[in-house]
Amino acid sequence: MKHIGTKTIETARLTLRRLKLTDSEMMFQNWTSDEKVTQFLRWDAHKTIDDTRRMIRQWLDHYQDDSTYYWGIYLKDGEMIGSIGVTITSDHDLKGALGYKIGSRFWNRGYSSEAAKAVVDYMFRNTDIERIDSFSSVKNPASGKVMEKIGMRYEGRLQHYYKTRDGFHDCTLYAIIRKEWEQRNSDQSIGEI
């Protein structure tokens, strides 16, 4: 698979860029310590800023590999509100999984959809990825709405697909393939004329 790594992406309201160690305080304050955010994740809310620093250091190491796609989500004023990434699940099959997290005080403003659309566009424009999928707990329907909003199609319900600190969750699976993304973009271009 052709890889280019994590490069900065600009949208109307957001900047998506690589994490920096200097982001630790904002990241801790705005989302890694937020129990509402981590409710559906595999890790607990961070108790100290050192927990967040350790997480950032891991990502800094991963950025050496061009197959790493992981961005902090920043408002235009520089405030970090979340993170988003695509994990390459198979180089051979040209596919990856989209995941995102955003601080609860920034929910319901369209930031997750804006960031997710930008990342999906980035992946299809700059790599030869064929499929991007994403899943969320059935107890987190807002995440599924983000996937629908960016053009992903519902593919089904997966039983006990994901285990968090609260146990196993049934999940909804969404995906978009290159042909669908190309069609969506050509339809949008026609509508802009």
Rounded CA separation 10/4 (Å):
17
Q: What size, in residues, is the chain?
A: 193
pLDDT band at residue 189 using 50, 70 and 90 as cut-offs:
low
pLDDT band at residue 40 using 50, 70 and 90 as cut-offs:
confident
**Residues 62-114: tens digit of each pLDDT:** 999 999 999 999 999 999 999 999 999 999 999 999 999 999 999 999 999 99
Single pTM value for the model: 0.92
**Residues 145-157: tens digit of each pLDDT:** 999 999 999 999 9
pLDDT surpassing 50 at residue 192: no
Mean pLDDT, range 116-123, rounded to an integer: 98
Structure tokens given for 117 = 């659309």
The helix/strand/coil state of 127 is: coil
Q: Give the H/E segment covering residue 148.
A: helix 141-149
Query: Residues 129, 94: contact at Cβ < 8 Å?
Result: yes
Rounded CA separation 112/152 (Å):
14
Q: Give the H/E segment covering residue 167.
A: strand 167-177
Rg of the chain (C-alpha set) = 16
Q: What pLDDT, on the 0 to 100 scale, is given for residue 42? A: 80
- Angle between helix axes 111-126 and 178-192 (nearest 10 degrees) is 110
- Angle between helix axes 141-149 and 111-126 (nearest 10 degrees) is 50
Structure tokens given for 186 = 């050509």
Fold assignment, 9-192 = Aminopeptidase (3.40.630)
Mean pLDDT, range 163-169, rounded to an integer: 86
**Residues 56-71: tens digit of each pLDDT:** 999 999 999 999 999 9
